A and B are shown apart, each in its own frame.
Chain A
């Protein structure tokens, strides 16, 4: 295939993916918006007003970046895992596998779809948060970079989950038992400065901590982790997961017989 043909194949997958989550917006865009509004009301307003300051900011201001990140993470992951698994389940993945579309383009197409949904939900949640607090932008570059990298990373994670999934139950296991606990323990609701040294050290093994803190730095200008180090860790995870995805696609594991 020429580069132009590859570009068309990539656009075809991206268009299909975006069309899919827009078509079922009641399942994809609305629920995270409602959930986050509830978080803002309950944790931000009702409970947050009694907590006082966290990391030098109002509790509401402190948790908003984490909640935005949480919605980006769950939605980019959820988009790829459900879309790629249902493509595999219905057999329509074969449409791509019999075509000359290179494997990396298939992967890039699905990841872009996941990033698009992550960004769409992130934008909606950010807009909704403005009804509850004022957000100042400390570094737009960091915000954009961290959101993009995080959604790429979790889209790749969703892809791996979908490749190994053999039933619809399998696509819920990782989000429920891994992603949600890591997100809740990733510094969304608290600063790791509050934790004893041991648990603060353990928390540093959680990749989501780096994303939440780097994003919080972009908005508030404060972070529990050095931002450069956080970006380096996220990059390393992206490279690792991308390589593994390509290995799965090239060998056909979970995809070809």
Chain B
């Protein structure tokens, strides 16, 4: 099977000796919505930089839809669209020119480039700003402009490096909707983000990278199944002085109107509600104490750091 992206034993050491990638291997299936997560400096952007050929690798191979970057770079580039973390367009150029020019670099004739630009800018809500200098756009608009630019040559693989960083929640949700839509139309998407809620709701598969190594690579469902405990916070209608006892469950009274319930894997919460109802305690709302993926992510990265300390000790 040909993957949308296949990375094999990828190493990257910078001139100053810093090893950003220690031989990572990764596969992303066609049509996937894939999350590449990791703390700051873990190697996410370096990986995407090598894939998009902006960073020279030290060793290893990268294939995009079967095209090896060392042998068929031009074909591989035609199939990729890249949305980088930093704004990297000419701030003095008009919004529409940024997109039309990008189409030109892919050999798309100007009339067709203009047609596609109009379509994309309309879809992303930027058409009214098409004559503005791109430096005058808001942060969210600049991110959308980079998405339009990355899509103008209709790539089969879209790489997004923290596309929603610094974007307000309303705009973030509209971008999620847009990305889901193009993924459903067949575009494979690889995303890095620090918003784990974003990765959990959008992505089907995930890899977690830390200190240049892939420490987890699985489907999102499988990963979430590995969570052993989950903490739910209950908001109470009236204050209480002591959390009731529920056999087999851990309940903690955080303050007089909030109880934390820790559920083990496979445990349901109905029993807790039964006891609370019987005690006349009304629950107004409930929420997860933290995002499930976030909890898992922190645990994985923390234990990886502990392991590495153990090795070096």
Q: Which residues of A contact B (CB under 8 A)?
A: 1-2, 4-6, 8-9, 11-13, 15-16, 23, 87, 90-92, 94-102, 252, 256-257
CA distance A2 to B107 in the complex (A): 8
Interface residues of B in 33-82 (CB under 8 A from A): 49, 52-56, 73-75, 77-78, 80, 82
Does B195 have its Cβ within 8 Å of any Cβ on chain A?
Answer: no
- In the complex, per-residue mask of B227-244: 1 if CB is within 8 Å of any chain A CB, else 0: 000000000000000000
- In the complex, per-residue mask of B90-124: 1 if CB is within 8 Å of any chain A CB, else 0: 11100001000110111111100000000000000
- CB nearest to A93 among chain B residues: B88
B107 touches A5 (CB 8 A): yes
Partner of B74, one of A4, A100, A256: A100
A9 touches B90 (CB 8 A): no
B88 touches A91 (CB 8 A): yes
- CB nearest to B74 among chain A residues: A100
B105 touches A101 (CB 8 A): yes
CA distance A237 to B91 in the complex (A): 35
A12 touches B101 (CB 8 A): yes
Interface residues of B in 156-184 (CB under 8 A from A): none
B74 touches A9 (CB 8 A): no
Q: Which residues of A contact B56 (CB under 8 A)?
A: 252, 256-257
A98 touches B107 (CB 8 A): no
Q: Which residues of B contact A16 (CB under 8 A)?
A: 97, 101
User: What are 19 inter-chain pairs, A to B, with CB distance below 8 A?
Assistant: A5-B106, A5-B107, A8-B104, A8-B107, A8-B109, A9-B105, A12-B105, A15-B104, A87-B90, A90-B90, A91-B88, A95-B101, A96-B105, A100-B77, A100-B107, A101-B105, A102-B74, A256-B55, A256-B56
- Extra contacts besides A92-B90, A100-B106 (6): CB < 8 Å: A8-B104, A16-B101, A91-B84, A97-B53, A256-B53, A256-B56
CA distance A92 to B86 in the complex (A): 10
- State the Cβ distance, B13 to closest chain A Cβ, in Å: 11
Secondary structure of the B contact surface, majority rule: loop
Does B297 have its Cβ within 8 Å of any Cβ on chain A?
Answer: no
- State the Cβ distance, B192 to closest chain A Cβ, in Å: 16
Does B249 have its Cβ within 8 Å of any Cβ on chain A?
Answer: no
B105 touches A95 (CB 8 A): yes
Partner of A99, one of B87, B89, B102, B110: B102
Does B149 have its Cβ within 8 Å of any Cβ on chain A?
Answer: yes
A256 touches B54 (CB 8 A): yes
Q: Which residues of B contact A98 (CB under 8 A)?
A: 52-54, 77, 80, 82
Q: Which residues of B contact A90 (CB under 8 A)?
A: 88-91
Q: Which residues of B contact A252 (CB under 8 A)?
A: 56
B54 touches A6 (CB 8 A): no
- In the complex with contacts A4-B107, A5-B106, A9-B106, A94-B84 CB distance below 8 A: yes
Partner of A91, one of B86, B108, B149: B86
Q: Which residues of B contact A95 (CB under 8 A)?
A: 88-89, 101-102, 105, 149
A92 touches B89 (CB 8 A): yes
CA distance A2 to B149 in the complex (A): 22
Does B273 have its Cβ within 8 Å of any Cβ on chain A?
Answer: no
Give the interface centre of A1, A13, A92, A99 by most chain B CB atoms within 10 Å: A99
Give the interface centre of A2, A6, A100, A256 by most chain B CB atoms within 10 Å: A100
Q: Which residues of A contact B78 (CB under 8 A)?
A: 1, 100
- State the Cβ distance, B14 to closest chain A Cβ, in Å: 7
- State the Cβ distance, A183 to closest chain B Cβ, in Å: 30
CA distance A90 to B86 in the complex (A): 10
CA distance A91 to B88 in the complex (A): 5
A91 touches B105 (CB 8 A): no
B107 touches A9 (CB 8 A): yes
Top 5 closest A-B pairs, CB basis?
A5-B107, A12-B104, A91-B88, A99-B105, A100-B74
A257 touches B91 (CB 8 A): no
Q: Which residues of A contact B53 (CB under 8 A)?
A: 97-98, 256
A91 touches B80 (CB 8 A): no
CA distance A12 to B114 in the complex (A): 13
Q: Which residues of B contact A9 (CB under 8 A)?
A: 104-107
CA distance A8 to B153 in the complex (A): 14
Q: Which residues of A contact B92 (CB under 8 A)?
A: 23
- CB nearest to B73 among chain A residues: A100
Partner of B87, one of A6, A91, A97: A91
CA distance A216 to B90 in the complex (A): 40
CA distance A241 to B87 in the complex (A): 32
CA distance A256 to B73 in the complex (A): 15
CA distance A172 to B294 in the complex (A): 50
CA distance A170 to B77 in the complex (A): 32
- State the Cβ distance, B65 to closest chain A Cβ, in Å: 14
CA distance A6 to B104 in the complex (A): 9
CA distance A90 to B98 in the complex (A): 13
Q: Which residues of A contact B101 (CB under 8 A)?
A: 12, 16, 95
